[in-house]
Structure 1
Amino acid sequence: MCTGSCAKCLGGTLIPLTVCGFLANILLFFPGGKVIDNNDHLSNEVWYFGGILGNGVLMIFPALVFLGLKNNDCCGCCGNESCGKRFAMFTSTIFAVIGVLGAGYSFIISAVSINRGPKCLVAKNGTWSYPFQDGDYLGNNDLWTRCLEPVDVVPWHLTLFSILLIIGAVQILICAIQVINGLLGTLCGDCQCCGCCQGDGPV
């Protein structure tokens, strides 16, 4: 596969992942599917916006850059060592690194939050805290009863942050592939780009 086509494929894959990460982070503001009357009752990691910033905003730019690489017309510069296509592929590696950093940020936030567990009401006198220690609730569902409110906050918290964790890991992989793909495109050019001018002219 040509480097431009590969980049377009990677960019197309990033778009739905970006949307899913954004939506998952939004849903975290409604623990258990309920509206919280006090924002202090939300887990701290929700406010770090891992899905909105890391999986979302910082991933939009790489995705758009990757999608646009295939459409760049470089046939007029075939045979030129400083072909604009090569520069575009090099630029894509920079955006890919930004994507790795954004996805890595979300991945770390999600891992920390999964290990820590949700913030919830743990006593009828109105005490809100983090009742779990070092992920002990992950292998013992009986501990989930420590959270009195919001209802179903533990599976809600665990599911959404797990989604963000997986999305972050996949995005890191995709952006890492584009770093390699972009470097190959910088050194070798796009095979279709240079091949379209070998002959009578572009088709």
Structure 2
Amino acid sequence: MACWWTCSRILGLSLGTAALFAAGANVALLFPNWDMSYLLRGLIGRHAMLGSGLWGGGLMVFTAATLVSMMGWRSRCFSKSAPCRSMLTVLLSSGLALLGALICFVTSGVALKDGPFCMFDVSPYNQTQAWKYGYPFKDLHNRNYLYDHSLWNSVCLEPSKAVVWHVSFFSALLCISLLELILVVVHLINSFLNLFCSLCEK
């Protein structure tokens, strides 16, 4: 039992920390090169504006982490609650964290696939020199920008280093949300083992 309380405390703290990092990474995506003007002009990609790292991998997971941490302290209300109530709290916290982390994971994966939102030259398509904001890497069916680093500085004209910024923070969100999913699974296994052991003791 003591192991379960300790595990819950560690898992709650780990989930809460991961949620804060996810929120921080999403905030950074709203300010390319730490420049606020892009956000004020509405020149931020839809994946970053969706804010899945803020409300999904961030707020939802942090709320679940708070519940998990509360369960880990014997002096709190969960320590003397009935098994059914404890399992309801476990399922609620796990479901909330699982949903938030999964949304963040899928959004980050799609964002990496589509590429950054930036200003690029459309002259190869219409034979006239013109620039516009969009997703230039979305139409490159025969080349993957993630592996072809020669495209990173040659396609996006503004913001500077848009590809590096996009790939860095969405990769971070992808890894953080994956870690959150793993922690939720560990929390579920830990909770079911605790319930099983409690029933065996009785």
Q: Could you tell me which of 174, 189, 193 is aligned with 2:183?
A: 174
* Residue in 2 that maps onto 1:9: 10
Distance 1:89 1:171 in 2: 21
Please tell me the residue identity of whatever aligns with 2:81.
G
* Residue in 2 that maps onto 1:139: 147
Please tell me the residue identity of whatever aligns with 1:98.
L
Aligned residues: 184
Distance 1:93 1:130 in 2: 39
Q: CA, structure 1 residues 28+173, in 2 after alignment: closer, same or farther (shift >3 Å)?
A: same
- Measure how far apart 1:25 and its partner are: 0.5
SS of the residue corresponding to residue 121 of structure 1 reads strand
Distance 1:45 1:94 in 2: 27
Matches within 5 A, 1:11-90: 11-35=12-36, 36=38, 37-39=40-42, 41-73=43-75, 84=81, 86-87=83-84, 89-90=86-87
Q: CA, structure 1 residues 178+56, in 2 after alignment: closer, same or farther (shift >3 Å)?
A: same
- Measure how far apart 1:85 and its partner are: 5.6
Q: Could you tell me which of 106, 109, 116 is aligned with 1:108?
A: 106
SS of the residue corresponding to residue 157 of structure 2 reads coil
Runs of 4+ in 1 over 6 A off after TM superposition: none
Distance 2:199 2:177 in 1: 28
Distance 2:34 2:199 in 1: 48
SS of the residue corresponding to residue 189 of structure 1 reads helix
Please tell me the residue identity of whatever aligns with 2:173.
L
Contact 2:9 2:73 survives alignment (8 Å): no
Gapped regions of structure 1 (runs ≥ 5): 78-82, 195-203
Q: CA, structure 1 residues 105+160, in 2 after alignment: closer, same or farther (shift >3 Å)?
A: same
Contact 2:115 2:163 survives alignment (8 Å): yes
Gapped regions of structure 2 (runs ≥ 5): 122-128
| Deviations 1:141-186, CA, capped at 9 Å, x for gaps | 1112110000011100100000000000000000111111122222
Normalised by the length of structure 1, the TM-score is 0.82
* Residue in 1 that maps onto 2:124: none
Q: How large is the RMSD of aligned CA atoms in angstroms?
A: 2.4
Normalised by the length of structure 2, the TM-score is 0.82
Distance 2:20 2:82 in 1: 29
- Measure how far apart 1:190 and its partner are: 10
Matches within 5 A, 1:177-188: 177-188=186-197
- Measure how far apart 1:38 and its partner are: 1.6
| Deviations 1:78-127, CA, capped at 9 Å, x for gaps | xxxxx616345411232112101100000000000001100110027341
Distance 2:157 2:180 in 1: 35
* Residue in 1 that maps onto 2:126: none
Q: Please identify, of 174-183 and 85-94, the stretch whose mean Cα deviation from structure 2 is larger.
A: 85-94
- Measure how far apart 1:73 and its partner are: 4.2
